[in-house]
Chains A and B, each alone.
Chain A
Amino acid sequence: MNVATYNKTTPYLFLVPALIIMVLGLLYPLGYMVYGSFRDWSPSQSLGESEFIGLGNYITLWNDPSFRESVGVTLKFAVSVVSVEMLMGVGLALLLDRNLRGMSLLRTLFILPMMIAPVVVGLIWRYMYHPTLGVFNKTLTGIGLDSVDWLGQHALLSVIIADIWQWTPFIFILSLAALQSLPRSALEAARIDGATGWQQIIHIKLPLMMPVLIVTGLLRLIDAFKVLEVILVMTEGGPGLSTEILALRISRTATEFRELGVAAAMSNYLLLMLLTLTVFMLVYNRWLEYLAQRAMTVAKEED
């Protein structure tokens, strides 16, 4: 009897600590935030003391041009970053999927950018973009060209480049792993049939890698919305609002302007955006899988 009940309760016991932490650290705060977004809330008040203002914060934000600019910047950043990284990462993986000496060394060193603190990445790139001390301008003036005001006039581009440097390895490693787990038989068959390199890539490799690529792309897209420290250290959101992505704006609204209600409403907008994107991608992925399944059953029937 004892052993039986012990066995029955064990799964719960195993799960309880995790559940407590998740509730305390994630679910309750999120709920608190949603609740707080409907109130006029400042940091020194506890939530109960604040005034209820319904959708006031949401409407203020909707009409606030800085908010809209921030959303625009965030979308521009995320889309650029993910597309370039996917292209480069997958491209490099396709190119380097062969037995070359030095691959393992590359694999080891190539993940360094990802492992370093975003704060440090921001630091290094800020130094490299420096108008007089930075590597880029020194090289440009060295060969006789004009120096470029990276963090002033091309701030968004500079930040995008830094992010590409940091995260392309992620895409590369995942794509490589996907490539290397493809069934060799299909590739062999294609080669014997005389397919050129390009045809192999487009018709066999890419379609088979699709599920992994979509998940990777989705993960990267989600992470792109979270980028904050790199931008904070490099430009602090400036000049103007040209690099103030939504996450940074939320943190500024909370700590500098001290309007927690507005920040909470902004957070909800951001979460909604992310949720929409995620759902969209998952649906798209399911649809692609469905199409692939259909194609396979059709092929089988033809056999």
Chain B
Amino acid sequence: MSAVDTTERRQHPAFYALIVMLIVMSVGPILLMLSVSFKLNVDVISGTSGLLFMPTIQNYETALCDVLPYELDHLDFCGLKFGGAFVNSLIIALVSTVLTLIIGCMAAYALVRFRFMGRDTVSGTTLMVRMVPPAVLLVPVFGLWNNEFCISKADWLGGLIRDTFGGRGDVCLAGTHSGIIIIYIAMNLPFVIWILQSFIVQVPRQLEEAARMDGAGPFQIFFKVVLPLIKPGLAAAAIFTFRIAWNEYLLASALSDRDTKTVPILIVNNMSEFNVEWGVIMATGMLLAIPPIIFTLFASRQIITGMTAGAVKG
């Protein structure tokens, strides 16, 4: 026994060093981005060493120029419409997360309780859907959202939408928030159903039986008995869905027009040929990365639960 104890203690320092190194390697680049975002472009080009420079919030001001209440001297015009993009990203991410959770939850419940398909079929389907790269979806979605899923302007509904929201031509899914939201829900649904399934399975049937005997209908059982018990699963699913909707670039860039740009699109557009302004780009990158960083710091446990659900049984 004692032999085992001393061996453990002797190994500790090296392992601590390893842990520290791992932490530095994973957080380091992010801190680098943070520090560059506070540097002026001239400082960046001249390559002043990381720690000795005049910090400035100019880059953030440039990025947020369309929401700031005051005029900026160093800018002649407000090019980046970051505020608008941020709002778009937020709307799309929140709405798709909420809808995915609701729809996914109901579907998972139905699959578990009413035993349509075995767990294996669901796992199989999830895997199949997860196999589809977004680039593959890009081609048909691009064609469908632009040309087929349209309401003609001549129809009453199309005319109504045009009269209320403005815009030109037929009302197509492309260029709308809903268009992007729908595709995000479709992409995330299988995974969410998979995660929630493993949580719903753990809810004891007796509770539901008891509620039914008290006269509750299926919907009431679902909302009042089952949902509260799978909160950790819901949290994990919510974080994953939000993360994908918030970070996604490819489909959003194909399906958005100038009013529905999201933040990742803005960042990629800014890597322009002419003026790689590292300070401003890093500032926009930081702004995009803040929600995921917050989630990670405060909800790491849920994230890990989400990752391991299903992969590690039990």
Contact = CB atoms under 8 A, between A and B. Distances in A.
Contacts of A254: 138-139, 142
B186 A26 contact: yes
Contacts of B25: 165
B186 A123 contact: no
Scoring B4, B139, B292, B293 by chain A CB atoms within 10 A of each residue's CB, the highest score goes to B139
A120 B288 contact: yes
A187 interface: no
A263 interface: yes
A223 B184 CA distance: 17
Contacts of B114: 10-11, 14
A43 interface: yes
SS class, residues of chain A in contact with chain B: helix
Contact of B182 (A25, A117, A177): A25
A214 to B, nearest CB: 10
Interface string B263-294: 01001100100000010011001001100110
A36 B289 contact: no
Nearest to B15: A100
A124 B19 contact: no
B32 A109 contact: no
A170 B26 CA distance: 12
SS class, residues of chain B in contact with chain A: helix
Given A17-B103, A119-B249, A251-B250, A174 B312 contact: yes
Nearest to B137: A29
A251 B130 CA distance: 18
A128 B312 contact: no
Contacts of A135: 32
B311 A215 contact: yes
Interface stretch (A150-158, A224-232, A292-300): A224-232
Nearest to A34: B140
A3 to B, nearest CB: 8
Scoring A101, A113, A117, A250 by chain B CB atoms within 10 A of each residue's CB, the highest score goes to A117
A145 interface: no
Interface string A229-266: 10011000000000000111011001100001001100
Contacts of A105: 23
Contacts of A191: 4
A114 B144 CA distance: 32
A41 B143 CA distance: 10
Size category of the binding interface on chain B: 35 or more
Interface in B92-126: 102-104, 106-107, 109-111, 113-114, 116
Interface stretch (B56-64, B228-236, B301-309): B301-309
B26 to A, nearest CB: 5
Contacts of B247: 116-119
Interface string A127-150: 110001101001000000000000
Given A117-B264, A247-B133, A21 B189 contact: yes
B227 interface: no
A222 interface: yes
A33 interface: yes
A124 B271 CA distance: 12
Contacts of B133: 225-226, 228, 247, 270, 274
A43 B146 contact: yes
B295 interface: yes
Interface in B6-34: 8, 12, 15-16, 18-20, 22-23, 25-27, 29-30, 32-33
Contact of A174 (B19, B33, B146, B307): B307
A165 B29 contact: yes
Nearest to B111: A15
14 contacts: A11-B114, A18-B106, A22-B189, A26-B186, A36-B139, A46-B148, A112-B26, A112-B293, A117-B247, A117-B292, A124-B30, A174-B311, A191-B4, A271-B136
Can you list the 8 inter-chain pairs with the closest CB atoms, starting with the nearest? Answer: A25-B186, A117-B247, A18-B107, A14-B110, A29-B140, A247-B135, A11-B114, A33-B140
